Amino acid sequence: RAGGAAMEPECRVLSIQSHVVRGYVGNKAATFPLQVLGFEVDTVNSVQFSNHTGYAHWKGQVLNSDELHELYEGLKLNKVNRYDYVLTGYTRDTSFLAMVVDIVQELKQQNSDLVYVCDPVMGDKWNGEGSMYVPKDLLPVYRDKVVPVADIITPNQFEAELLTGRKIYTEKDALEVMDMLHAMGPETVVITSSDLQAPLGNDYLIALGSHRKTKADGTRITQRIRVESPKVDAVFVGTGDLFAAMLLAWTHKHPNNLKVACEKTVSAMQHVLQRTIKSAKVQAGEGNKPNSAQLELRMVQSKKDIENPEIIVKATVL
């Protein structure tokens, strides 16, 4: 267009995640931020539940791998199966996960530049003890099939340990685990949370990132960063889904600067979580603990912060 800024080429994401009628997890947590940041998002809802399973009650339906395949076939028949990104999160079923891998591989044949962003959701640590909250047979599928086709992965510390079979006690361990994960396939690895001691103190949570690029002459350069963000005292659901979606967006906008991408992602997270906890406390009333419904992420209210996050968390290059 004469005189105008050049239009950004359309960027399309296939997001295969859970859907909830009420609240923000899975696709509900990922779609809005991606759209706000200018992406076309095509969503496959791996489940449709009334709400997330942290509530006292939930009801709904689960999509099986054949049904996933059928939806993909429909896209293919119309020749609209060209994507720039695929995004996946929480899955409980091995055959569903295997089908996702098949679809990603086929989409990569369509577009060799496709980037697969995978949050390998398997479990977490509570008081230092790790436990899986998906069936154990998902681990070998993630390790042997999914991670090798992924380009960006966002495990927490426990998931990074599961995938590599190696425990993390120090930052040096974590960097070596990230190298092991690179060796399995992904060029960007972000350990989204860890129980490592933060230089800023106990009120901070450490995330670590590593970006490995192979230059045209075959030399490898690795950028590694540490991000310390203030702990927020509440149990939120959907934060990992929001994190992965925003990391997808910001790494797209800053392809060779993991530092800036992580600063924007983590800063936006902080804005959303601070707004959510403040609002939840008001709803719960003085001295009461907010419940699941009150702790739903304040997504729509945070539109401006998601679109243009004020950097309140800095990353350190290691």
Q: Is 151 tagged catalytic? A: no
DSSP codes of every residue in 207-221: EEEEEEEE-TTS-EE
Q: Are strands 123-126 and 40-49 parallel, antiparallel or unpaired?
A: unpaired
Tell me the C-alpha distance between 69 and 77, whole Å.
Answer: 12
Tell me the C-alpha distance between 22 and 190, whole Å.
Answer: 29
> Of residues 84, 93, 119, 241, which has the active-site annotation?
241
Tell me the C-alpha distance between 123 and 121, whole Å.
Answer: 6
DSSP codes of every residue in 143-174: IIIIHHH-SEE---HHHHHHHHT----SHHHH
CB of 29 closer than 8 Å to CB of 52: no
Tell me the C-alpha distance between 56 and 53, whole Å.
Answer: 8
CB of 82 closer than 8 Å to CB of 19: no
Report CA-CA distances (Å) from 58 to 31, 54, 168, 283: 22, 9, 36, 22
Which residues are annotated as catalytic?
241
